Structure 1
Amino acid sequence: MKINAVPAGVIGVGLALILFATGGTDNPLNYAVLVVSILCMSLFFSIHYLTIYYLLQPYNAGTELKSGTYSLVLSATYLACFFMMQLRMPTLVFGMMTIVFCVLYSVVACVLVYRFAPKTFRIRT
């Protein structure tokens, strides 16, 4: 997350500045939610890739992709993100949903990795 936090922070602050420069919003809380939700999305994708890597161990010793489940999970993730982009809702609602989802996902992912990774992490043949 340390590596992804800087670009995500720049994007979040940049979006908030663009929102302000283009007329802004009636609710000043939208600016903070916008920045935090971008940081949370960055956190989600950092944790998500590591979680599915440790739980599904998709590669063999030659770094070839060997897990169909891994491909399905990635496809489902991006499909869900695409559909979320199509929704039209207030910035505050979408931002709060994003923040709550990312925090909950992070907690659940940590528990799952600590519990199951020692059993599932192996080199595929």
Structure 2
Amino acid sequence: MSPYMFTAAAIIAVIGILIVFKVNLDKIKEDPEQVAKAQSNFFIGVAIIEILPLIMIVFALIHAVPLPIEEIYIPAFIIIILMAFAMFFIFLQRKVDVEEDRKQAVNQFSIIAIALANAIPIIALVLMFINIV
């Protein structure tokens, strides 16, 4: 059960962060002067979204039992696909409807979002592989 709890935590975190990213990126694209406010809103949103996944990870870690590696293949594959999707989504949003004077702000915001969107999935992968027999 614990590998799927890690996977669920990663899914909740990534989807929530991508939604908050999209909302704040649209604000930056409309008005590049609002970068600081959009980043603040993004960080607050990420902090709120990551509460449940962190609780799920701690719960899964407490109730973890050693598993054979064969039971970790599918959850690990799902998390890796999720990480690739997050990066693809962020890079795609970075290229769509961005004027030349706003590219710098959008690129910086996208790099921050990639790091935050992949943090929980990386933690989930590492903790899953720690529980291998």
Q: Normalised by the size of structure 2, how large is the TM-score?
A: 0.35
Q: Which has the higher contact order (CA 8 A, sep 6+)?
A: 2
Q: Which protein is richer in helix relative to its size?
A: 2
**Of the two, which has the highest radius of gyration?**
1
